[in-house]
Amino acid sequence: MIEIADGVFVRRHTELDLTLGLITGSGDSLLVDSGMDPGLAAVLAGEGLRPSRIVLTHNHFDHVLATEAFLPCEVWAHEDCVVDESLLAGRAEYYDEPFTGTLVAPTHTFRDSVALDVGGRRVDLHHFGPAHTSHDVVVHVPDAGVVFAGDLVEQGAPAQAGPDATPANWRHVLDLLLELDPRIVVPGHGNPVDAAFVRAMAIPEAS
C-alpha cells in the first residue's frame, strides 16, 4: 500500500493496471473496490487491518470479484449496482479459466450521497449521474483532499465507454467531481492524478 495522504493509501496492480484504495481512521478502515486478488485480504490482515466496509465504485468484474475474501464486512454501492453472473462476461474477454469464487452483492446502498464514519473520519459517497456506468460512485475524503473516481478517470490509457456508459453526461459528472476541490484524484486504473488532469482528459465516445 502506498500512502498518498494521511491515512489514505492506494494499491497498484499490474493486472489491468488496476488501482484500489484504503482509507483508515481510528481503529477502522474502508476499502475502495475489492479488485480481483483475494490475496490482498491476507496482506491487509498481516498489517493488522480488517476493513469494516468495502465501497464498490461500479460493478465491472475487475473491481468486485474479490469481495468474498474480506467478509464479514459491509458492502456499499449505488442502488443501481447489480453484482451477479452477468458481469463475468467481461472477465471472459481477458481470462480463459472460470471464476471459482462467490459473487457478493451490495449489503448497503444509497441514491445520491451518504456520509460514512470511518473511525471518526468522514468519508462521503456521491453519485453524480450516469457516465462510465449508470451507478458510478465517487469516494471523497474531505480532510485529505482525496477523491477516488473509479473508472470515471483513467491514467495511462484513455477512459473507456462500454455499452452501459453515458458519454454525453461524463463531462458533467467530472465537473461535479471537481467541485469537491480535490488535491489528489485516484483513478480506477493508473497512478493518482491532480484536478488539472481531470479537467483536460478526453471524454470517450460511445462504443
- For 129-196, list the strands marked E by DSSP: 138-141, 146-154, 184-189
Please state the pTM of the whole predicted model. 0.96
Kindly report the average pLDDT of the chain as a whole number.
Answer: 96
Judged against a pLDDT cut of 90, whether residue 48 lies above it is answered with no
Q: How many CB atoms lie within 10 A of CB 139?
A: 23
Residues 6+ apart with CB under 8 A from 192: 4, 10, 19, 155, 184, 185, 186
**Residue 147 is placed in which grid cell?**
477523491
Where in the chain are the domains?
2-200
Tens of pLDDT, residue by residue over 132-155, are 999 999 999 999 999 999 999 999
Tens of pLDDT, residue by residue over 151-206, are 999 999 999 998 999 999 999 999 999 999 999 999 999 999 999 999 999 998 87
What is d(CA 152, CA 146) in angstroms, rounded to the nearest whole number? 15
Contact 145, 131 (CB under 8 A): no
Place of cell 449508470: 134
Task: Select the CATH number that applies to the domain covering 2-200 from these four: 3.40.50.300, 3.60.15.10, 2.60.40.1930, 3.20.20.140.
Answer: 3.60.15.10
Average pLDDT for 114-132: 98
- For the chain, list the strands marked E by DSSP: 2-5, 8-12, 19-25, 28-32, 53-55, 74-78, 108-110, 113-118, 121-126, 138-141, 146-154, 184-189
pLDDT reported for residue 205: 85
- Asked whether the CA dihedral 149, 169, 17, 183 is positive or negative, the reply is negative
Tens of pLDDT, residue by residue over 23-37, are 999 999 999 999 999
Exposure class string for 86-98: b at 16+ Cβ within 10 A, else e? ebeeebeeeeeee
Place of cell 472477465: 91
What is d(CA 55, CA 4) in angstroms, rounded to the nearest whole number? 19
Judged against a pLDDT cut of 70, whether residue 106 lies above it is answered with yes
